[in-house]
A and B are shown apart, each in its own frame.
Chain A
């Protein structure tokens, strides 16, 4: 049996182009595109929640409800949720590919990452769209001030 060996200095070439979408390329592009947007979204999020007013010590249901009653912050948080979870999940996938040596371990870890990302995106999206800032029967002092207005 004979086999051909490339000459040592032959130029690097990829294996024959497989058909279909190059997902790794789009993942690479996604990390950079979402990264730029996330810098703005997360810096804004941190500024409004930790720097303005009394920062972390002012956080409570009334504060969050006041924000989530506003379509601007709904959109902001929803974008942050989707972009950050997929960015983080894809980053974790990269680490698993780098450090998990067994095929089975990689499969288990990547399934766990995918499950966490999907479940939290669904949960977070449901919260943003079904959230009620003035739940009936809750004490008025825990609610945003606009709840008692009408």
Chain B
């Protein structure tokens, strides 16, 4: 095989590689952390819109605020709050991971993804029992 075509083959292999140089975001941990970051971000944004509106009711009257906040204490909303906190905790820890990738070292991004999952599990173990007790026993 002539030298030139062997060279062409190598460069073609480079350009069609499954993991092109310079991105963490195609496949495996890098991609899934990115997907989860977007989904949790959108969910949190829409909750934030509602949450500012319901809190603004303190300016209307104590009765109006209490009436709406009562609905946050029902079992279904209690589970929703658990899901919301789960989303926030993931988004927070993964956001810190993104900052570390950008300003510290990208080569630990996979390890840091599992650290994020671990911290998320620990935080949720601290939060969930207490929150669920408050929702179902008070």
Binding site for B on A (CB under 8 A): 32, 35-36, 38-39, 42-43, 46, 50-51, 54-62, 64-65, 68, 81, 84-85, 88-89, 91-92, 95, 116, 120, 123-124, 126-127, 130-131, 135, 138-139, 142-143
Name the interface size band of chain B.
Answer: 35 or more
Q: Would A127 and B78 count as touching, CB distance under 8 A?
A: no
Interface of A is mostly: helix
- CB neighbours (8 Å) of B85 from chain A are 46, 50
Are B66 and A61 closer than 8 Å at their CB atoms?
yes
Q: Name the CB-closest residue of B to A121.
A: B52
How distant is the Cα of A116 from the Cα of B50 in the complex, in angstroms? 11
Q: Which residue numbers of B lie inside 8 Å of A, CB to CB? A: 38, 41-42, 44-45, 48-49, 52-53, 55-56, 58-59, 61-63, 65-66, 69, 72-73, 78, 81, 85, 88, 92, 95-96, 98-99, 102-103, 127, 130-131, 134-135, 138
Supposing A88-B45, A91-B41, A92-B45 touch, asked if A50 and B56 sit within 8 A by C-beta, the answer is no
Q: Give the distance to chain A from B82, nearest Cβ to Cβ, in Å.
A: 10
When the two chains form their complex, are residues A142 and B66 in contact, meaning their CB atoms are under 8 A apart?
A: yes
Min CB–CB distance B77 → chain A (angstroms): 8
Q: Is the CB of B69 within 8 A of A60?
A: yes
A61 and B45 contact, CB distance less than 8 A: no
CB-defined contacts of B38 to chain A, threshold 8 Å = 95
Contact B45–A135 (Cβ < 8 Å): no
User: With the chains together, A142 CA to B74 CA distance in Å?
Assistant: 20
Q: A50-B81, A138-B61 are in contact. Are A36 and B96 (CB under 8 A)?
A: yes
CA A32 to CA B63, docked complex, whole Å: 39
A46 to chain B, nearest CB (A): 6
